[in-house]
Structure 1
């Protein structure tokens, strides 16, 4: 019988039966019928060309050939299970660096990625740094933000728009609200206001934050009116946590991009990570 037809699924039946020397007990452990176990052993004996067991009135005994073969088969089968188990347990680890301002966009996509690619494990590091240097930093991928990046995959372009908490719906005196700034300067608000002709808005009260995510959170809490990227607040607006008092948005020329380390290591896992992140 050709080597390629070795009934591998019968080896487990042989090993279990050899341990019990009882077809009933072996069948119970294997969740099979006695007849199914007998057929598997018969197929294996047919392949080897000699009996593995001797059938006696009082039960089974290993044949001389079966007894000699048992240690080798047991060792090989256990090694196969170990290798298979390690391969199954091994997850693809992707070390991802991302700016905190991108978290509102990133987290829902990581949830989808975890569902669609359960073997891809993300080790996420958040930072206020908007760039990455793969030569000096231990990351496999990064989300970068700025006007000077053109490598990698474009995730979305920044477009600023004012947002405020839903508790201010219908409020007419918006100029009395505190302006929430996502940076320590007034650049973003100034850029948006400079493009508006029909928004008589005076900067009176101000609150500055270190990140856009903090400014958005403060707006949801009712602290004031924030200037934020329209992509980052999409879900908050959809869920009713935020509203846009004006529909105008202004592109800043900056964008969020996904860049990845150029390496042949773990290529399949990195490809799955990229596909999962860009696919949603």
Structure 2
């Protein structure tokens, strides 16, 4: 038989059975039926071309060939498990907290991390909370949002602009529902206050709990949303959204990447940071 046909998954069954010399006990440890264990051993014996056990009325006994093979197979199997455990231990897990509104920007960059840094595993938690407290929260890094922040690395500054579905491009904006990313009208009020002349009136309004929900509603044609231009950049590029106005208004708020500990190669944060900041 060829090397590729070797029933590797039957080795553990042989080792367990050799230790117990009892199919029932081996099956219980492997969480298999007695018949399944018996078939695995039979497949291994068929590949070797000789019996591994002698069957007696009182139970099993290793054959001479089985006794000779046992220490070698045991050593090889233990080595395989050690290599696997070491490989798993080499993967670095980064626990990341991010506000839901930043996910549209974040996901393409997580794909880049996965592609360029396969040893990094990002355990992402999304939340409507825009801050983090590393003393009470078990995250390694977080994306935070707010004004007057200086900690960590700047990802991008918030700049608001209206967006609509291209399918509604011919509809007068004044007749459309204004989609608000919060329960108040702060963002739309700020944008309208910075226009040279009244562009829209707040006659019809729909409020959402997050900017991401307002953006999704705009994509589906519910109305015109006020959104951060960076967060909708990919949607505009892909044709899912259109910008009826070229200008945007900075709010003074920003998105920043902060860390529990200083980023370095050992904790994986340095490589993760470079991917998010488009370095290298």
TM-score higher than 0.5 here? yes
Confirm whether residue 159 of structure 1 aligns to residue 168 of structure 2: no
Matches within 5 A, 1:1-280: 29=3, 81-90=80-89, 91-171=91-171, 173-262=172-261, 267-279=266-278
Q: Name the SS for the 1:94 alignment partner.
A: strand
* Maintained 8 Å contact 1:92/1:266: no
- Unpaired segments of 5 or more residues in structure 1? 1-24, 31-69
Q: Deviations over 1:186-227 (max 9, x none)?
A: 100010111110443211100000000000000001110000
CA contact (8 A) 2:264 2:270 kept: no
CA contact (8 A) 2:214 2:225 kept: yes
CA distance in 2, matches of 1:222, 1:75: 64
SS, match of residue 164 in structure 2? strand
Contact 1:163 / 1:219 at 8 angstroms: preserved in 2? Answer: yes
Deviation, 1:104, is: 0.4
Question: CA–CA distance in 2 between the matches of 1:270 and 1:81?
Answer: 30
> Take 2:267 and 2:180, find their aligned partners in 1: how far apart are those partners?
41
CA RMSD of aligned residues (A): 2.6
CA–CA distance in 2 between the matches of 1:141 and 1:229?
A: 23
2:98 counterpart SS class: strand
Q: Which runs of 5+ in 2 are unaligned?
A: 5-68
1 CA distance for matches of 2:97 and 2:123? 8
Deviations 1:140-167 (A, max 9, x none): 1100000032110110000000001111
Q: TM-score, normalised by structure 1?
A: 0.70
Alpha-carbon distance between aligned partners in 1 of 2:232 and 2:262, rounded to the nearest angstrom? 34
Distance 1:240 1:88, change over 3 A: same
Task: Report the 3-state secondary structure (helix = DSSP H, G, I; strand = E; otherwise coil) of the residue aligned with 2:200.
Answer: coil
Q: How many residue pairs were aligned?
A: 215
